[in-house]
Every structure is written in structure tokens, then in C-alpha cells.
Structure 1
Amino acid sequence: MNENVRSSSKIVAYLLLILNCLSPMAAIVIAPSLPQMQKYFSNVPNVEFLVPMALTIPGLLVALCSPIVGILSDKFGRKKLLVTATFAYSILGIMPFWLNDLPSIIASRVLLGCAEGVIVTISTTLIGDYYQGVIRQRYLALQTTFASTSAILFFMIGGILGEHGWRIPYVIYIVPVFLAILSLFLLWEPNRHQIMQEDDSQIQPTFRPILLAFICAVTFIGAMSFMVLQIQMAYILGILGEDSPKVAGNIASACSALIVIGTLSIHVLSKLGFRTPHNLFIAFGLIGTSFILISHAQNAHDLLIYSLINGLGCGLLLPTLAIWNMRELPGNKRGMGTGMWYGSYCLGMFFSPIIVVAGSKMVGGLMPMLQTIGIFLIPIALIALILGFVKFKQATVKTVA
């Protein structure tokens, strides 16, 4: 089978998309059973701090490891690293099923985060290597669609398995073994010469470190904004006088559904002629406006409506950033650039609650902080719109010339 045929294979694309879903799986599948785990280790000092670390520490390690992984994959290749990391992810993920002390469990989760960093970075990089143009854009957008949808599925699975004890959800980590085997037989190492040739019928872009740093900074802001409602929903409902976990879950689910719709809307906007600056304007505009509206919400119904606006903006934002970053990377820097991007994305998610909590103390509460974030994001949206007009004008001048 020649590489042109292989690169058009939907099976390979869906395998890469499913591999990327191992990132939300690392945290979400054990989330419902954390209270049971904390009760089991109740005699351990600082258990209320250590148990949540089992949930969050892999994400931090992804942020720290992704740039290094990207550099290594550019130098030594992609496939072997990805297959090895997927096997390791499965073994490390299931270890807490047998481990009996909390420090060992946290250590296994640290190593799991390193393996996760390899998987998400290289699976995304391979989408850039295997596919071009509209097809590449479609699969990068579908990454967020798959991740958002799988998050709902993993939470349900984690809840069902958690009914039988806090250790049982870790059994789900046996699944990546089969993904590793499929990767071994279905994936191939990209041709180094080929990915340096023409891409999308154009000359490969010049690597610009300053532009990469700028994209990573915008991505950090986007990821931080994305996580605000994911983490703060129950606290916002508490302020509104609604303490029901069921209501919080329903609103979060509705918001997740709009995130999925937002990821799919990028294809429609592309057909209408919208480009990265326009999508960023819409996305940051929707998210910023939603935060301002939420800060003035009077009840759970208001929060639901405004959260839907937020979900739509978040769904559009993340694939737009991924596509923007991938488009600006030459083949020989694709791994490193993708690793930097993923690192910024995960750092934004990690620091989101820290920034919100610290900011809330400074401005007098969570609701004023949400308004502050919204006011901060609106100018970013306007700057993106202005840059869109400038690029359009420059392109028009070049066409006329």
C-alpha cells in the first residue's frame, strides 16, 4: 500500500483521534471515585491535598514533557515513541489497582502523565504529517470533538465502575494495550524528505519562534478560559442558591454538547470564508461575553443559557488554535511546535483554578472575577478581528499587484 493510499485511511485517522482521548481519560475516569479513595487513605497526613493530586498531576506532567517529546520526535522519529508510550500508559494506569500506599499511587500517576504527554503530542503531530489541507483541518477539529464526547463517556464509565470500589475504575486502563497493538501495525514512520516538500500546494512555512511563542501565549489564555466553567460551575450555582449536584451536572452536560457543536462549526465557517482571526474573534467574543453575563446571572436558568454561549465559544476556540499552530509549522519542526502548543494548553488548564481563586480574592469574589475575565477577553477578540482585516487587506493588495 503506497503512502498516498495509507494517508487517506479513515481507520488511521480515527485511531489517532482515539489515542488523543487518552488525555481526558487519565483524569475523568477516576474522578467520581476520589471521595472513596480519600476515605480509604484517611489516616494519611494531608490526604485531602494528596488525593486530588492523583487527578491533576498527569496534566501538569503533560505540560512539562510535551515540548521535550516534540523535540525528540523530530530527531528520532514518531512511531516507536508513540507505541512504547501507549503500552507504558496502560501499565502505569492500571498500577493503582494493586498499589496500597498513596505516595506510590501518586508516583505512578506522575509517570502516567509523562506517557500521556508523549501520546497526545505525537498523535497530533502525526495528523499533521499524514494529512494536508482541508482533511488535516477536519481531523484537528475532530480532536476536540472526540475529547469532549469521550469526557462525557469516561465520566459515566468511571461512575459505574466506582460503584464497586475506588480501585475498579483503574481496570479501564487495560484498553490502551489494544490501541498500542493497533498503532504498531497500522501507523508508519513519516518520510522525512516527503514532509519537507510542498504542503497544501504551497512552500513549507518558515519556522518563526516569535510567532510560535505568540500562539502558545494565546493558547494558554484560551485553555485557562476553557477550564473556568468546568471547575467553577458548582461554586457559581452555590452563589445563586442552587446546591443540587444534579443541576450542576445537567448544565455541565449541556455545555459539553455545545462544545461539540462549536468544534463542528469550524467546518461551516471555513466554507463561508472565515479564517483564523475571524474564528478567534467569534470564539473569544462569545467566551468573554458569557463570563460577563454569568457574573450578572440571577438563577440557574440564566446560568444555563449563558453557559451554552460559553460552550459554543470554547468549542470553536480550541480547534482554531490547533489548526493555526499546525499550519505555521514546517515539517522538521512539527513535533517540537506541537509539543510547545500542548504544553501551553495544559499549563493553561492547570493554572486556571489558581488564577481564578487568587483573582477572586483580589476583586472581591467569584462573580466579579468572572466579569474581570470577560472584560479581559473582549479586547483580545477585537484585536483578532483587526488582524483579520489587516491580513485581508494585505492579501487583496498582493492579488492586485
Structure 2
Amino acid sequence: MEKVAAFWRDLTLKPQGFTIVVAAFLPIIAIVAMGPAVPTMIEHFANDPDARGKVPAMIGAPGLAMAILAPFAGMMVDRFGRRPILLVSTLFYAIFGAAPLLLDSLDQIYASRLLLGVAEAGILTVVNTLIGDYWEDRARKNWLFLQGLLGPFIAAIFSLIVGYASKAQWNGVFYVYLVALPIFVAMLLFLFEPKREVAPLAQVAAPPATAFPWASALQVAAVTLFASMLYYVFIINGALVFKEVGVTEPVRYAALIFVPSLFILAGAAIFRLLAMRANLLQLGVFMLLLGAGLTGMGLATTVPVMIACLIVQQTAAGMTVPTLIGWTQGKFGFAHRGRAMGIWTGAFFLGQSQSPRLVHALDASQGSMQNAFLTIGLVGLAGATVALALLASGRKSA
């Protein structure tokens, strides 16, 4: 109980923290919320011969826009400030997210989803920047840990809401995006623009103008792209790999992955335990678990073995995002943090868009989805080996 009390005391600026944690899930809703609505939308647009292709493409459209625009959003954040861009982006998120309630054309809906991605690029870049601005390292890691704990519950709640909304009407899913409006009000009430002269909030002195550290930015982009492509392998292709060990019914698949998915919470806990340790250790551990889980699923011949390996992979998934964000935030000072988080966001969502292409290519060339998982898992283990070898050689940071 004493540790819990100490953790709670470390969570300074609580109204700001909870507002940012909830706002950080707005871009995730764009993917999570749409999944259960896909069959309903395909059925509604049955007269469109391309509906089976257009509807899934519509889901991924915001991620594509984020991958392209987030680095530019980061530049604007550093130049024009955090709070104004976040407020405008959140308001546009509600408008563009709910726009399909008034549309009845897949092409128009796709366009609205691209505009939604523009808003999401601003939201995710700013909230991750503010976590670095508002808090010093220890408290920053605590808020990232709390974000990791809340993620599975928020995703589950929205999936449930979407299921009922889609049953009520074909485009009912888009009402979910109006949740941005109360979050917008909370931002107006609680969030403040961090000033360079009060940078001690994050124990960063107001530095003179310096050149942007492109070497660090390129390192962040490369590692994040690599990790993101591994991270999305199971999220996008999980049902297909389970099918190869005999799980063909969607209901059975959903039931089998329920308990393993809870191990995302274990991953968040491991992140908190390692949060004050060397960055290379954090990166090495989550890549080791992620690579081991994917490799195991590639080799599994029975459902129980597949589930055991999925537990390992989901534990790694719980570490991935907070580890990458915390690592990136610590590499950049106030003057460059917005641009850095924009580059991080762009790299992460570029990985989201390219991961299915990589998996599909490996599946086609190697003859099965399990072989694709095996190959990618081994690549993940290689990445972990590099990080841990650098750590063992005496390097403390990356």
C-alpha cells in the first residue's frame, strides 16, 4: 500500500495528466472502434462491387494520413505552441470523425477518414509532447504506465459500445467520435501552454536556439518503424495464424485470445519496473519478448502452444508503446520535442501501414502465415540481441 501511495503522490498535475491520458486514446479509437462495424458497412454498401476492399481501406486511411503528416505537425507544435494545435485538432477530430453520419458514399467517407487522420496527427503529437513538457522523468514514466494500464479497458468499452451502435444503424459507429467533445472541454479547463521559462516542470533549462538533432531523430524513426512493424503483426494477422492450427470460428478465436490479451497489463507493469533502468535494457527486453512470442507462434502446432506464445507476445505489446515514447521524450529538450514526437508518430503509423504488406509478402513467398510469423519473430530476436549486446559492451543509452 505504501508503494501505491508513493505512486499516487508522484502523479503531479493530475487533472492535466488524466486529460492527456484519455486524449491519447482518440487516435486508437479510429482503429478499434471500426473493426466490429466492418461487416455491417460492407452489407450496407453491397451494391458497390469494391465494398469489400474499400471498407477495410477506410479503416486504415487515418493511419496513412498520420504517417505522412505527423512530422509536419511536430514542426508546427514547436513553432506555434502545444495547446492551440491540440484544441483545434480535437475539435476537427469530432467533426471529421462524425461526418459519415451525414454521408452515404464510401468515397466521401474515405475522404472524411483522411481528414480525421490529419486531426489525429495533431492530437497524438501534442499529447506525447506535453507528457515530456509537464513532468520530469520519474513522473513521466508513471503517466505512461497508467496509460498502458487503462488502454485495454478503454478499448474493450469502445468495442462494446460500437457493437450495439452498429446494430442500431449501419453508421452508428461514427457517434463514438463525438466523445472528443467532452475531452475538448477538459482540455480548455485544465491544459496550459508550457513556457520555455518554466521548463523546470520537466527539469529542462530553457536552452538557447540549437540545431535540430537529426542523428537522434533518425535513430528514433528507424527503431520506431522497426518496432511498429513487429507490433502490428499479430494485431492485423492474428486470426489468420490461429487458423493454421485449426481455429476457424471467429467466436472461438475471440474466446481464445481474451485471457492472453490481458497480459498487456503485465507488459505495462514490466515497463514501470524497468522505467528507470538503461534505455537499451528496456528496448532489448520488449524486443526479446516480442520476437520470442512471434517466433513461438510461427513454430506452434497446437492451440495451447499458440496461446502460450501469444501471452508472451501480448506482454511485449504492453511494453512497446510506453517504452518507445519514454525513450524518445528523454532524447529531446523542450525546443525540439514537438518535432521529435511528430517524427515518432509518423514512423509508428508508417509501420502500421507497412506491416501488413510485409506479412503478406512473406506469407506468399514462404507458403504460410506461420512461416511469416517465424521469420519476423527471428528478426525481432536479432534486434533484441543488438540492443542487449550494446548494453553488455558498456553503453547505457541509445
Q: Do both share a fold (TM > 0.5)?
A: yes
Give the AA of the match of 2:187.
S
For residue 162 of structure 2, the aligned residue among 144, 158, 164 is 158
Which of 211, 218, 234 aligns to 2:223? It is: 218
Alignment partner of 1:230 is 2:263:
no
Inter-CA distance 198–154: structure 2 relative to 1 (3 Å threshold): closer
How many aligned residue pairs are there?
A: 386
1:336 to 323, 336, 339: 339
Post-superposition offset of 1:8: 2.6
| CA distance in 2: counterparts of 1:266 and 1:370, whole angstroms | 24
Is the Cα–Cα contact under 8 Å of residues 58 and 113 in structure 2 kept in the other structure?
yes
Matches of 1:251 and 1:142, distance apart in 2: 26
Match of 1:280 in 2: 283
Give distance in 2, aligned partners of 1:18 and 1:199: 21
Matching residue within 43, 66, 71 for 1:67: 71
Q: 1:357 & 1:373 partners in 2: Cα distance?
A: 12
1:137 aligns with 2:144: no
- Alignment of 1:104 onto 2:108: yes
The corresponding residue for 2:263 is 258
Cα distance in 2 for partners of 1:319, 1:247 equals 31
The alpha carbon displacement at 1:256 in A equals 2.7
Deviation of residue 127 (structure 1)?
A: 1.0
Q: How far does residue 339 in structure 1 lie from its aligned partner after superposition?
A: 0.5
Alignment root-mean-square deviation, CA: 2.2
Relative distance call for 1:49 and 1:381 in structure 2 (3 A) is same
What amino acid is the match of 1:64?
I
* Alpha-carbon spacing, 1:364–1:380, altered in 2? closer, same or farther (3 Å): same
Per-residue CA deviation, residues 202-250 of structure 1 (Å, 9 max, x unaligned), is 8979853112211211111111111111111111121111112123213
Number of the residue aligned with 1:76: 80
Cα contact 1:141–1:320 (8 A) shared by 2: no
Indicate whether 1:366 and 2:366 are aligned.
Answer: no
* Alignment partners' CA distance in 2, 1:72 and 1:206: 16
SS at match of 1:338: helix
Does 2:319 match 1:316? yes
From 245, 248, 261, give the equivalent of 1:243. Answer: 248
**Corresponding letter in the other structure for 2:154:** S
> Tell me, which stretches of 5 or more residues in structure 1 are unaligned?
1-6, 395-401
Find the counterpart in structure 2 of residue 293 from structure 1: 296
Please give the per-residue CA displacement for 1:150-197, whole angstroms capped at 9, x wherever unaligned. 2222212111221212211211222211111111121111102333x6
Which residue among 172, 177, 182 is the counterpart of 1:178? Answer: 182
Gap change, CA 1:13 and 1:84, over 3 Å in 2: same
Superimposed CA distance per residue, residues 121-152 of structure 1 (whole angstroms, 9 cap, x where no aligned partner)? 10111111111120012223333433343222
Runs of 4+ in structure 1 deviating by more than 6 angstroms, as ranges, are: 201-206
Does the CA-based 8 Å contact 1:82-1:119 persist in structure 2? yes
Q: Which residue does the alignment assign to 1:114? A: 118
Letter in 2 for 1:110: L
Tell me the CA shift for residue 392 of structure 1: 5.1
CA distance in 2, matches of 1:341, 1:379: 22
C-alpha spacing 1:251/1:222, structure 2 compared with 1 (3 Å) = farther
Structure 1 counterpart of 2:132, one-letter code: G
Would you say the 8 A contact 2:136–2:201 is kept in 1? no
Cα distance in 2 for residues equivalent to 1:253 and 1:142? 21
Residue 332 of structure 2 aligns to a residue whose secondary structure is coil
- 1:142 counterpart letter in structure 2: L
Question: Contact 2:293–2:313 at 8 Å: present in 1 too?
Answer: yes
Aligned-pair CA distance for 1:251 = 3.5
Query: How many angstroms apart in 1 are the aligned matches of 2:269 and 2:206?
Result: 28
- Measured after TM superposition, the shift of residue 387 of structure 1 is 1.7
- What does residue 7 of structure 2 align with? none
AA aligned opposite 2:123: I
Residues 378/202 of structure 1: CA separation in 2 closer, same or farther (3 Å cut):
farther
Percent same amino acid among aligned pairs?
Answer: 27
TM score, norm. by length of structure 2: 0.91
Displacement of 1:336 after TM fit?
0.3
* CA 174–157 in structure 1, closer or farther in 2 if over 3 Å, else same: same
Q: Distance in 2 between matches of 1:137 and 1:199?
A: 12
